[in-house]
Copies of this chain bind each other. A is one copy, B any other.
Amino acid sequence: MTAYDNIVAHERTSWALSQVMGRLGWDQETMMPRGAAEQRGEEMAAMEEVLHARRTDPRLGEWLEAATAPDAKGEAILRHVRRSYTRNTRVPAALAAELARVTSVAQGVWAEARARDDVAHFLPTLTRVIELRREEASALAENGALYDALLNDYEPGISGDEIAAIFARMRTRLVALREKVLGAAYQPAPMKGEFPRERQLRLSRTLAEAFGYDFAKGRLDLAVHPFSSGSGADARITTRVAENDPFNCLYSTIHEVGHACYEQNIDEGYRYSPLGEGVSMGVHESQSRIYENQLGRSRAFTGWLHGQMRHEFGDLGLDPEGFFGAVNRVQPGHIRTESDEVHYNLHIMMRFDLERALISGDLQPGDLEAAWNDRFLRDFGVAVDRPSHGMLQDVHWSIGLFGYFPTYALGNVYAGCLMKALRKDLVGIDTALAEGRPTVATEWLTAKLQRHGGLREPRDTITEACGFEPSEAPLMDYLEAKFSDLYRL
Using known A-B contacts A33-B234, A36-B217, A50-B50, determine if residue A43 contacts B27 with beta carbons closer than 8 Å.
no
Beyond the given A13-B46, A20-B24, A39-B271, please list 4 additional residue pairs across the A-B interface where CB-CB is below 8 A.
A13-B50, A17-B50, A20-B43, A50-B50
A442 smallest CB distance to B (angstroms): 17
**Inter-chain contacts of A31 with B (CB < 8 A):** 31, 219
Q: Could you tell me the distance between the alpha carbons of A27 and B271 in the complex, rounded to whole angstroms?
A: 21
Copies per complex of this chain: 2
Using known A-B contacts A23-B27, A40-B234, A234-B39, determine if residue A46 contacts B17 with beta carbons closer than 8 Å.
yes
Q: Mark A208-247, 1 if CB is under 8 A from B, else 0.
A: 0000001111110000000000001110100000000000
| Residue A71 interfacial (CB < 8 Å) | no
Q: Mark A45-84, 1 if CB is under 8 A from B, else 0.
A: 1110110000000000000000000000000000000000
**Inter-chain contacts of A16 with B (CB < 8 A):** 42-43, 45-47
Contact between A218 and B46 (Cβ–Cβ < 8 Å)? Answer: no
Q: Could you tell me the distance between the alpha carbons of A35 and B235 in the complex, rounded to whole angstroms?
A: 10
Q: Could you tell me the distance between the alpha carbons of A17 and B31 in the complex, rounded to whole angstroms?
A: 19
Q: Could you tell me the distance between the alpha carbons of A217 and B36 in the complex, rounded to whole angstroms?
A: 6
**Max chain B CB contacts within 10 Å: which of A34, A38, A42, A217?**
A42
Q: Could you tell me the distance between the alpha carbons of A232 and B23 in the complex, rounded to whole angstroms?
A: 20
| Residue A19 interfacial (CB < 8 Å) | yes
Question: CB within 8 Å of B: which of A352-377?
Answer: none
List 13 A–B pairs whose Cβ atoms lie within 8 Å, in order of A's numbering.
A16-B42, A17-B46, A19-B39, A20-B43, A23-B27, A31-B31, A33-B216, A33-B219, A33-B233, A35-B214, A39-B232, A39-B234, A42-B272
**Inter-chain contacts of A38 with B (CB < 8 A):** 233
| Residue A97 interfacial (CB < 8 Å) | no
Contact between B232 and A33 (Cβ–Cβ < 8 Å)? Answer: no
**Inter-chain contacts of A272 with B (CB < 8 A):** 42
Contact between B50 and A234 (Cβ–Cβ < 8 Å)? Answer: no
| Residue A158 interfacial (CB < 8 Å) | no
Contact of A43 (CB < 8 Å), options: B19, B46, B50: B19
| Residue A189 interfacial (CB < 8 Å) | no
| Residue A335 interfacial (CB < 8 Å) | no
**Inter-chain contacts of A215 with B (CB < 8 A):** 33
Contact between A49 and B234 (Cβ–Cβ < 8 Å)? Answer: no
**Max chain B CB contacts within 10 Å: which of A27, A33, A34?**
A33
**Inter-chain contacts of A218 with B (CB < 8 A):** 33
Contact between B217 and A35 (Cβ–Cβ < 8 Å)? Answer: yes
| Residue A105 interfacial (CB < 8 Å) | no
Q: Could you tell me the distance between the alpha carbons of A42 and B9 in the complex, rounded to whole angstroms?
A: 12
Q: Which 8 A-B pairs have the closest CB atoms?
A: A16-B46, A35-B216, A36-B234, A39-B233, A35-B217, A36-B233, A13-B46, A16-B43
Q: Could you tell me the distance between the alpha carbons of A217 and B38 in the complex, rounded to whole angstroms?
A: 11
Q: Mark A14-30, 1 if CB is under 8 A from B, else 0.
A: 10110110011001000
A208 smallest CB distance to B (angstroms): 13
**Inter-chain contacts of A23 with B (CB < 8 A):** 23-24, 27, 43
User: Which residue of the partner chain B has the closest CB to A32?
Assistant: B234
**Inter-chain contacts of A219 with B (CB < 8 A):** 31, 33
Q: Could you tell me the distance between the alpha carbons of A108 and B106 in the complex, rounded to whole angstroms?
A: 47
**Inter-chain contacts of A234 with B (CB < 8 A):** 32-33, 35-36, 39-40
A414 smallest CB distance to B (angstroms): 28
User: Which residue of the partner chain B has the closest CB to A45?
Assistant: B16
**Inter-chain contacts of A236 with B (CB < 8 A):** 33
